[in-house]
């Protein structure tokens, strides 16, 4: 089955066909760098990292461009408040973003252009739009004339006569139409500025992406991604600029990821429920954020709740414990090259591969992938390989499972942590969150061990019950005990 993508432009699923054979030009709107990104801002980078990986697995060479908006009103405001140059602010938060991005274990992009590095190209882009009679100049400010394009509004479904001043458009009597938007702003005091044919100034918000796309990827690209909040006006205006400058189609496939809600409510400053990605990763774990985002279809609203986070932890622990079991077999069992992987598991994984491919090729449906991972883990765990050291098939079976789970984990940027370290880290996190005294846990475990050695089963059971009442579960194999906080 070939890849099918829901195209926001056509409002339907379309078979994906790249402009160039086996090559994909992918652009994702990046952050405006004036503060730490919240978890909603990370949905795009996490999902499109997976999309890029799937495209590459499907045989495409992907040029993935993700920009930094390093000149903006909010950046300038913060710089003036701190009494520093705006580039000090933007560079600071680019580095902060890189720290969070690296912590998520996502692959680097092909290009990370900064707007300030492309001002020359932006000026040339605006000049061409003016030359093509799609823009006009008033008081050294350049506006795009939306009435010059019959197709304006095709992405968002908005019509020009529906756009009135005050409704998501700036009130400015100098405009020919209320919906006309700025391509170039004249310089103001305490603002960075650049030379242009219209005097000193700086780029408008929308023009930056169009100019960088042309400079790096070309006049027409395959896929443009972003959050649904960018459909109008940002992406609508990008299309207008692209057509206005190049007189050809700007983007073939528009992909938009949905919002993240917190406990059923949209994240907003007024509600005080905006959570920076870094804070979320500190409180929970980077794996939790990625799992939450990828296990929900990108076009669906993701509702983050305590219950959802608990389910995510449960799923992650299930997978990591299976990986730990496979690692134990691979590290401690002999591989004599005579054994073969378990037939039931081999058959299941092959069947799951087919189901996964079909699901992801249907507009990147990840639900089947996570269901398949659980199915594989359940089947692998049922084999109890750790107790079958003398079975020559144990090693190749563990190897098959580990390679299968690692392959999809690499694609998802999940399950790549050291399982032992991850399980210990999560245990410590749960101890802190549930206010459980670790020393008391160890004391009770030692007490149970002593009682069992003395064959005082009644006392051993008392220790067991105390541990369970604290929220601690454990498994005993010979002299070793593995304990963990129950989710």
Give the position of tokens 């829901």: 6
- Structure confidence at residue 168 (pLDDT): 52
**pLDDT recorded at residue 169:** 53
Helix (H, G, I), strand (E, B) or coil at 454: coil
CA-to-CA dists, residue 285 to 267, 272, 280, 291, 339, angstroms: 20, 22, 7, 10, 38
pLDDT of residue 27: 98
Helix, strand, or coil here: 415? coil
Distant-in-sequence, close-in-space partners of 1: CB < 8 Å, separation ≥ 6: 357, 358, 361, 362
For 276-349, list the strands marked E by DSSP: 302-304
Distance of alpha carbon 295 from alpha carbon 467, whole angstroms: 33
Nearest CA to 261 out of 303, 289, 300 is that of: 303
448 vs 460: CA distance, rounded Å = 5
What is the pLDDT at residue 88? 97
pLDDT (tens, 9 = 90+) of the chain, 487 residues, equals 799 999 999 999 999 999 999 999 999 999 999 999 999 999 999 999 999 999 999 999 999 999 999 999 999 999 999 999 999 999 999 999 999 999 999 999 999 999 999 999 999 999 999 999 999 999 999 999 999 999 999 999 998 777 754 455 557 889 999 999 999 999 999 899 999 999 999 999 999 999 999 999 999 999 999 999 999 999 999 999 999 999 999 999 999 999 999 988 888 777 778 899 999 999 999 999 999 999 999 999 999 999 999 999 999 999 999 999 999 999 999 998 889 999 999 999 999 999 999 999 999 999 999 999 999 999 999 999 999 999 999 999 999 999 999 999 999 999 999 999 999 999 999 999 999 999 999 999 999 999 999 999 999 999 999 999 999 999 887 778 889 998 8
How far is residue 344 from each of residues 276, 327, 337, measured CA to CA in Å?
A: 44, 20, 19
pLDDT value for 375: 98
Give just the sign of the alpha carbon dihedral 170, 173, 176, 178.
positive
Instruction: Say what the pLDDT of residue 164 is.
Output: 57
DSSP, collapsed to helix, strand or coil, labels residue 257 as: strand
What topology is assigned to 4-257 in CATH?
Rossmann fold (3.40.50)
Nearest to 383 by CA among 415, 341, 412, 411: 341
Q: Which residues pair with 378 in a beta bridge?
A: none
The CA–CA distances, whole Å, from 265 to 107, 247, 259, 262, 282 equal 31, 42, 10, 5, 22
């Amino acid at each position: 089955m070939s890849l099918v993508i829901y195209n926001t432009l056509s409002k339907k699923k379309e078979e994906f066909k790249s402009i160039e054979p086996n090559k994909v030009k992918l652009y994702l709107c990046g952050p405006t760098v004036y503060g730490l990104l919240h978890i909603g801002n990370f949905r795009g980078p996490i999902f499109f990292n997976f999309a890029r990986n799937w495209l590459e697995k499907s045989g495409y060479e992907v040029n993935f461009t993700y920009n930094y908006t390093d000149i903006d009103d909010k950046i300038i405001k913060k710089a003036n408040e701190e009494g520093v140059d705006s580039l000090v602010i933007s560079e600071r938060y680019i580095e902060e973003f890189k720290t969070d991005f690296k912590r998520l274990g996502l692959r680097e992009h092909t290009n990370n252009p900064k707007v300030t590095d492309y001002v020359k190209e932006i000026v040339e882009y605006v000049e061409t739009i003016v030359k093509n009679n799609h823009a006009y100049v008033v008081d050294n400010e350049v506006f795009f004339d939306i009435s010059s394009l019959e197709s304006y509004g095709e992405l968002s479904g908005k019509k020009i006569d529906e756009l009135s001043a005050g409704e998501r458009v700036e009130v400015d009597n100098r405009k020919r139409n209320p919906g006309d938007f700025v391509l170039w702003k004249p310089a103001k005091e305490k603002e960075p500025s650049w030379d242009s044919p219209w005097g000193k100034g700086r780029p408008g918000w929308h023009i930056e992406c169009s100019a960088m796309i042309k400079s790096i990827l070309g006049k027409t690209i395959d896929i443009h991604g972003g959050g649904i909040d960018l459909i109008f006006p940002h992406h609508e205006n990008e299309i207008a600029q692209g057509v206005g400058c190049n007189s050809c189609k700007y983007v073939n496939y528009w992909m938009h990821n949905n919002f993240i809600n917190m406990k059923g409510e949209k994240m907003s400053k007024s509600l005080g429920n905006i959570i920076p990605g870094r804070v979320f990763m500190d409180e929970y774990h980077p794996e939790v954020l990625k799992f939450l985002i990828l296990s929900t279809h990108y076009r669906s609203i993701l509702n983050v709740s305590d219950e959802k986070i608990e389910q995510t932890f449960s799923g992650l622990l299930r997978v990591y414990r299976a990986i730990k079991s496979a690692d134990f077999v691979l590290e401690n069992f002999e591989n004599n090259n005579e054994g073969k992987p378990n037939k039931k598991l081999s058959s299941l994984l092959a069947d799951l591969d087919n189901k996964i491919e079909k699901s992801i090729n249907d507009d990147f449906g990840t639900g089947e992938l996570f269901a398949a991972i659980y199915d594989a883990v359940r089947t692998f765990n049922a084999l109890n390989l750790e107790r079958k050291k003398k079975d020559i098939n144990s090693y190749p079976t563990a190897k098959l499972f580990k390679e299968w789970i690692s392959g999809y984990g690499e694609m998802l940027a999940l399950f790549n942590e050291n399982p032992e370290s991850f399980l210990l880290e999560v245990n410590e996190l749960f101890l802190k969150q549930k206010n459980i005294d670790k020393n008391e846990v160890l004391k009770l475990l030692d007490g149970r061990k002593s009682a069992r050695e003395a064959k005082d089963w009644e006392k051993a059971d008392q220790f067991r019950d105390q541990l369970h009442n604290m929220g601690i579960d454990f498994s005993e194999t010979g002299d070793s005990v593995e304990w963990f906080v129950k989710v």
